[in-house]
Structure 1
Amino acid sequence: MKFSSRLKLLREEKGLRQEDLAKILNISRQSISNYEKGVRFPNDEELIKKLAKFFNVSIDYLLGASNIRSNYMYIDDTRTRESASSYDVDKKTALENLFYEVDTLSVNTIQRITQVIRIFKDEINS
């Protein structure tokens, strides 16, 4: 997915109009429209960081380089990578990421992964 599509998706997920996001970012509504149409791309590195922070996603996700929304936490305007076992992602996002990755696999591979998950669940529950 391209930056333009990601930006629109993220904006709509937050229930924002282009005008709302433009006001938050202190840019014009037309700029947001152009970004979402893929006509223009933000040439300001700080704006890209601001977008990623606002939507709580990684810059890689925002730019379409990754399908993992975020494994970063923003603290005092600095991005700090957390350990893989403690990154700040809600369950819905984690499941979305998992389903996206699994969706490209063969049925046989998905069945094998399901078996492994059941083994882990059984170990946890015993």
Structure 2
Amino acid sequence: MEIGTKIGVLRRKHKISQPELAFKLDISQTALSEIESGKTKKIDFLLMDKVCKIFNVDFDYFLNEHSINFNFEKIEKTKGGNIGCKIETINNNFPEGILENMLKRIELLEKIISSK
């Protein structure tokens, strides 16, 4: 998994918005978006040091392939069209690229749901 994807995963896990994290890192939201999407491949060490401190992870977290646990919600339909959720954890053993695609789709769905 790419460094930018790992930053995005940590950001979502800690429930921090892109603009909020960008502010903490002293970069633009656009720059952070490009890092998370993989458009920006080169990230300086000072920025990575800030990321590590914010999320309390070691630098090698970004260098090594880790099996990351994600919380997915099991969706159950309820009366009136509302959704009830049960959180379950599964391990990430997806091939690279698929996970990034899934995360982008989840983010899009979250935007659609929040706009209603």
TM-score (norm 2): 0.53
| Cα distance in 1 for residues equivalent to 2:20 and 2:62 | 19
% identical equivalent positions:
31
CA gap 1:13/1:57 in 2 versus in 1, 3 angstroms: same
Query: The residue matched to 2:40 in structure 1 has which SS?
Result: coil
Residue 42 of structure 1: how far off its partner (Å) = 4.4
| Cα distance in 2 for residues equivalent to 1:34 and 1:10 | 16
Q: What corresponds to 2:3 in structure 1?
A: 3
Q: What corresponds to 2:66 in structure 1?
A: 67
Residue 8 of structure 1: how far off its partner (Å) = 0.6
**1:20-99, aligned counterparts within 5 Å?**
20-63=20-63, 65-67=64-66
Give every structure 1 segment of 4 or more consecutive aligned residues whose post-TM-superposition deviation is greater than 2 Å.
Answer: none
**Cα offsets for 1:28-56 (capped at 9, x unmatched):** 00011000100003432111111011111
Q: What corresponds to 1:113 in structure 2?
A: none
Query: The residue matched to 2:27 in structure 1 has which SS?
Result: coil
TM-score (norm 1): 0.50
- Structure 2 residue identity aligned to 1:60: D
| Cα distance in 1 for residues equivalent to 2:19 and 2:34 | 13
Work out which of the two has the higher radius of gyration on C-alpha atoms and give 1 or 2.
1
Query: The residue matched to 1:19 in structure 2 has which SS?
Result: helix
**Cα offsets for 1:92-115 (capped at 9, x unmatched):** xxxx9xx96xx8xxxxxxxxxxxx
Q: What corresponds to 1:15 in structure 2?
A: 15
Aligned residues: 72
* Bigger RCO of structures 1 and 2 (CA < 8 A, at least 6 apart): 2
Gaps of 5+ in 2: 69-88, 94-116
Gaps of 5+ in 1: 70-95, 104-126
Q: Structure 1 or 2: larger strand share?
A: 2
